[in-house]
Amino acid sequence: MNLSFFDQFSSPSLLGIPLILIAMTFPALLLPSLDNRWITNRLSTLQLWFINLITKQLMIPLNKKGHKWALILTSLMIFLLLINLLGLLPYTFTPTTQLSMNLALAFPLWLATLLTGLRNQPSTSLGHLLPEGTPTPLIPALILIETTSLLIRPVALGVRLTANLTAGHLLIQLISTATTALFSTMPAVSLLTLLVLFLLTILEVAVAMIQAYVFVLLLSLYLQENI
């Protein structure tokens, strides 16, 4: 029983070929394609309005130098948002429940923000490792602590996204299993658990959207520290 609960997080394969790449590229089919027409349909207009809203929200904490990252951050936000939401559909696979994938997204982008700061303002970037006014005996310990907190940032990004989505999927499967098992013996309790399942699904939709936003927002804050 315990193994079957975690089988949903294993990467699906067909004839020995992992299908995770298809799961990652499928959200691109939902994005609007380029069109030469002046007048578009309502769906394209809504999508473009939503993309514009996301871009404005992500650019708020950044100055003009950070606006060069608008395309990368907005694309990452839409990518994570679509994958998280599509993973809530029945008989689907959520790639963002894999820690390896989340770390593969977090580490290069975090490293890019760090290298940007070291290239543009090395003194300021290194100055973050030692707060001003630190007593001399505490300097080695604080440098070690600040360095550790700096290096752990990409791990925290990946683990946060993985843990929240994994916990939500497990709760949904546990409650849905209980609802099915209790339907024949205790219908009233089964209906109650069905209501809980419905409310939990709404909560997981919100969590999927919030976690995608938090992931990209933290990256933008790390970028702001280095530009």
For residue 63, name the pLDDT band (cuts at 50, 70, 90). Answer: confident
84 lies in which domain range? Answer: 19-226
State how far the Cα of 178 lies from the Cα of 172, in Å rounded to an integer. 10
Q: With a cut of 80, say whether residue 9 has pLDDT above it.
A: no
Least confident range from 1-10, 16-25, 59-68: namely: 1-10
Asked whether residue 10 is domain-assigned, the answer is no
Report how far Cα 106 is from the mean position of its chain's Cα atoms: 9
Of the two residues 179 and 3, the one the predictor is more confident about is 179
Of 106, 74, 115, 128, whose CA–CA distance to 219 is shortest?
Answer: 106
**Could you identify the residue written with the tokens 């992931």?**
215
Asked whether residue 26 is domain-assigned, the answer is yes
Cβ distance 35 to 44 under 8 Å?
yes
pLDDT tens-digit map of 202-218: 999 999 999 999 999 99
pLDDT tens-digit map of 68-87: 888 899 889 988 998 888 88
Asked whether residue 200 is domain-assigned, the answer is yes
Segment 8-24 shows an average pLDDT of 68
Asked whether residue 12 is domain-assigned, the answer is no
Cβ distance 153 to 219 under 8 Å?
no
Q: How many domains does the chain have?
A: 1
The 3-state secondary structure of the chain reads: CHHHHHHHHCCCEECCEECHHHHHHHHHHHCCCCCCCCCCCHHHHHHHHHHHHHHHHHHCCCCHHHHHHHHHHHHHHHHHHHHHHHCCCCCCCCHHHCHHHHHHHHHHHHHHHHHHHHHHCHHHHHHCCCCCCCCHHHHHHHHHHHHHHHHCHHHHHHHHHHHHHHHHHHHHHHHHHHHHHHCCCCHHHHHHHHHHHHHHHHHHHHHHHHHHHHHHHHHHHHHHHCC
State how far the Cα of 208 lies from the Cα of 166, in Å rounded to an integer. 11
CB-CB neighbours of 226 under 10 Å: 20
pLDDT tens-digit map of 115-124: 888 888 877 7
Max mean pLDDT among 168-172, 183-187, 207-211 falls in 207-211
Asked whether residue 101 is domain-assigned, the answer is yes
Asked whether residue 3 is domain-assigned, the answer is no
Asked whether residue 8 is domain-assigned, the answer is no
Max mean pLDDT among 23-32, 79-88, 132-141 falls in 79-88
Asked whether residue 11 is domain-assigned, the answer is no
Least confident range from 8-22, 116-130, 182-196, 201-215: namely: 8-22
pLDDT for the residue numbered 147: 85
